[in-house]
Structure 1
Amino acid sequence: MAANPSFDIVSKVDRQEVDNAFNQAEKELSTRFDFRGTGTVVAKSGEAFTITSETEERAVAALDVFKEKLVKRNISLKSLDAGEPRQSGKTYKIDLKVVEGIESEKAKAISKKIRDEGPKGVQPQIQGDQLRVTGKKRDDLQVVIALLKQEDFGVALQFTNYR
């Protein structure tokens, strides 16, 4: 008989979709009337983004535009780590980071939830920045997925490698 059924719990982001959202936000900020003359810019450096504006309100509004574009491209806002607006000289900046992977504290919380409330015979294993869940029956794994979808762990979860 084959190995027990299993699936992986991961937190990944489609980088191409993030780039598309960035480009759309950049274009919208350059064409919208309420952003003209405010020096509002979204910049990308490596994997990080920075929003710069002359006023704090415009910087926050630009962040909302960027978030809106991410949501339209099916990127969870849980995977966006936005800092607080900070003053840098005469401008305000907001640093943004796209977070991938499940950090160990959250992985432990997810694992504990599965052990405490999941069906018997289902075993979670932490493997780096993801979890693998194995069980005797596929139905038990479906129950675990439903259980985790109800809970908010502060991280965008995807369920992959279901076999």
Structure 2
Amino acid sequence: MTGMEHLASFTATGRLHGIGIGSTLGEVDQAFPHRFVDVVDEGGTSLRRDYGFVEFYFNSDRGEEWVMSGGSLELHRLASGHDMARTWARATGVTFPRHVAWADLREALAGVPGAPAFEVTDQGGFLEYRAAASHVSVIVVDDAEEERGCHVGHGDVWSIGLWAPVRAN
């Protein structure tokens, strides 16, 4: 599977390498055998696991198992971090491009059964494409003066975020 196909699948399903909201830390460890940095909050109830351009967020009641509450693919980091993409490709077999154009991702999504509809909001220099069906938000650079290079440019995906649905009480 190409990086673009992988991103389209993640955007449509909210699952990356088989994990998503509600996955345990053990399940993530099995799916992502990569080096990481863990940051636990002072209260010990939230954890951020950083793999470079992929981050996952976990919550736990003290003494309970860590459960994924969100995550993000920080695709903007690939524009200047060539080694990140190569390391990821060696470990997973998935090669990501240095820049991901939103138009290319939309085209890839067109081939995915059940691709979600998006609500678009302006985020001041960015557009957020939010898919309620998959609980995924795609953040796209919307500044015409931003040019591609060591950074993402106008029309490129900055990040793809995964968020937990709000539970009704």
* TM-score, normalised relative to structure 2: 0.27
Greater length-normalized contact order (CA 8 Å, ≥ 6 residues apart): 1
* TM-score, normalised relative to structure 1: 0.28
Give the greater-gyration-radius structure (CA): 1
